[in-house]
């Protein structure tokens, strides 16, 4: 026998969300603790090396000295330190403004000079392309004329030969008709007339 179990989605979702938030909170806490413990253990292991200990101690003492020096300056003359920092910030902002102005001038120069030159090169290349196309068309025309001249030379000789042969043959046929039968050439070799 199967037994039906009542299922309330609203209650279980709320319960599951709370459980998940609690679980993720616990996981985040464990992760943070693990990171802190790992950092402490790693630092302790790094301190086992003598050169690392010397470097850490010298840097620590340098930081301590500079901090103590700054604290002493602030105690002696707080307005002087404040004025010094303000002067430094003003100088830094002036240098930064100069750098920005130089960058703008450079940008304008690049735009004016380089872009104008690029546009000039573009126009020149367009003109060169147009001239090249015109030259190609002219070469094509010249090639056509050379071809036509060649055809005339070869075609005229052939045409002249053909037309002279045609006129000769027509003249010969006319001459044959006008020639006395005994003066005609015979188809049989050595015989005159037919």
Q: What average pLDDT does the chain have?
A: 75
Per-residue model confidence (pLDDT) at position 100:
93
CB 183 within 8 A of CB 193: yes
* Higher per-residue pLDDT: 157 or 59: 59
CB 184 within 8 A of CB 193: yes
Q: Report d(CA 161, CA 148) in Å as an integer.
A: 19
Per-residue model confidence (pLDDT) at position 71:
85
Confidence label for 107 from pLDDT (cuts 50, 70 and 90) = confident
Q: Is residue 106 scored above 80 in pLDDT? A: yes
The encoded tokens of residue 18 equal 């709370």
CA angle at 85 for the pair 79 and 91, rounded to the nearest 5°:
135
Q: Is residue 83 scored above 70 in pLDDT? A: yes
The residue written with tokens 């130089």 in the block is: 102
Confidence label for 96 from pLDDT (cuts 50, 70 and 90) = very high
Which residues neighbour 46 within 8 Å (Cβ) at sequence distance 6 or greater?
A: 52
7-39 confidence digits (pLDDT tens) = 555 554 454 554 455 566 677 788 888 899 999
The size of the chain, in residues, is 194
Beta carbons within 10 angstroms of residue 61's beta carbon: 10
């Amino acid at each position: 026998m199967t037994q039906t179990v009542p299922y309330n989605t609203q209650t279980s979702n709320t319960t599951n969300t709370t459980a998940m938030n609690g679980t993720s909170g616990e996981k985040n806490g464990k992760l943070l603790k693990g990171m802190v413990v790992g950092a402490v253990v790693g630092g302790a292991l790094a301190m086992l090396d003598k050169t690392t200990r010397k470097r850490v101690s010298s840097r620590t003492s340098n930081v301590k000295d500079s901090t103590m020096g700054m604290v002493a300056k602030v105690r002696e003359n707080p307005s002087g330190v404040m004025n010094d920092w303000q002067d430094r910030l003003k100088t830094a902002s002036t240098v930064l403004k100069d750098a920005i102005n130089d960058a703008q001038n450079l940008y304008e120069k690049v735009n004016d000079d380089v872009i104008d030159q690029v546009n000039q090169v573009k126009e020149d290349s367009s003109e060169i392309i147009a001239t090249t196309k015109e030259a190609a068309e002219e070469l094509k025309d010249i090639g056509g004329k050379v071809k036509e001249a060649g055809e005339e030379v070869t075609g005229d000789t052939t045409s002249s030969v053909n037309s002279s042969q045609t006129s000769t043959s027509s003249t010969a046929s006319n001459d044959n008709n006008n020639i006395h039968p005994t003066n005609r050439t015979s188809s049989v070799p050595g015989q005159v007339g037919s």
